[in-house]
Structure 1
């Protein structure tokens, strides 16, 4: 595992897992949200956004967390491992509300500067619909990636066990 993508619904814990893996494997971590969003929640333009990702993928090792379906194919072509956090909708919705409370008025560490935590109806809908609307296409695309190590984790206990097993293998 040298080039790792972590994908899943908002609130699944992608950034947290990325940080844990980065620390464990000594691989640099890049949060796609922090690369995409400029201060004031202004989106990067498409050309700039794609170029940032291409530049990162030239590195020997990386962990990227985030979905961004429009550019996922570019990352899939470079990745050797994909971790799909396929958690329940209820869990993800709970976590985005918890995160909003935790970072009220502040920018979270995995977000671009000048983007204080917010929770709007569009994001709530996106998380609520992720499992039905986004997840099937992601799973289908991952099935086509026979050369990539696909790790699907559907419960936090599985993620915890995955990290423990990895730690033991490293030790």
Structure 2
């Protein structure tokens, strides 16, 4: 596995898993949030985001974590494997609340400087509605590459997959 994607609902643990797996697999790590945001919570222009992502995807090896549905296609085309953390939304919401409390006022390791963690009702609502919107779009996007997708439905399933693949 030289090119890995990790996707899933916000709060599923994509960034944490990526930070653990990238060094074990010897892969450079790319966080989509670092490409997609600039200081002050300013979104990167779409053309610039696509250019930044194209540079990353053109490399021979990478582990890219994050959804950013509009950017999935170029990643899926080159990926060897897609790890889909398809965890229950109630777990993701709990993890999201815990993450906000832990990092409040400071940027997380997977975010650019100048983007301190904060509670955002719109973002929380987005996660609450994952199953009726973002999930549907994600499922549609990954369907043509189903043979590359490893869907893990719980932290236990993830732990078993990691053990079976000697990745933890």
Report the alpha carbon displacement of residue 86 of structure 1 after superposing the two structures with TM.
Answer: 0.6
Aligned residue for 2:129, secondary structure, equals helix
Render the CA deviation track for 1:109-164: whole Å, top value 9, x for unaligned.
01011100012111111101112222133223323215x52100110011111111
Shift >6 Å, 4+ stretches: none
Q: Secondary structure at the match of 2:64?
A: strand
For 2:141 and 2:116, how far apart are their aligned partners in 1? 33
2:153 equivalent in structure 1 = 154
Give the aligned partner of residue 166 of structure 1. Answer: 165
Structure 1 residue 105 displacement after superposition: 1.2
**Over aligned residue pairs, what C-alpha RMSD do you find?**
1.5
Match of 1:110 in 2: 110
Q: Distance in 1 between matches of 2:82 and 2:12?
A: 15
Structure 1 gap segments, 5+ residues each: none
Instruction: State the SS of the aligned residue for 1:63.
Output: strand
Alignment of 1:105-144 (within 5 A): 105-144=105-144
What is the CA–CA distance in structure 2 between the aligned matches of 1:47 and 1:71, rounded to whole Å? 11
Q: Residues 30-56 of structure 1, C-alpha deviation per residue, up to 9 Å, x if partnerless? A: 111011110000111111100000000
Q: Secondary structure at the match of 1:167?
A: coil
Contact 2:69 2:137 in 1 (8 A): no
Task: Note if contact 1:36-1:112 (Cα within 8 Å) is conserved in structure 2.
Answer: no
CA distance in 2, matches of 1:69, 1:79: 15
Which sits farther off after the overlay, 99-108 or 131-140? 131-140
Any stretches of 5+ residues in structure 2 without a counterpart? none
Distance between the aligned counterparts of 2:75 and 2:119, measured in 1?
27
What whole-Å deviation, never above 9, does each CA across 1:71-115 have from its counterpart, x for those lacking one? 111211121211111111100100110000000111100101110
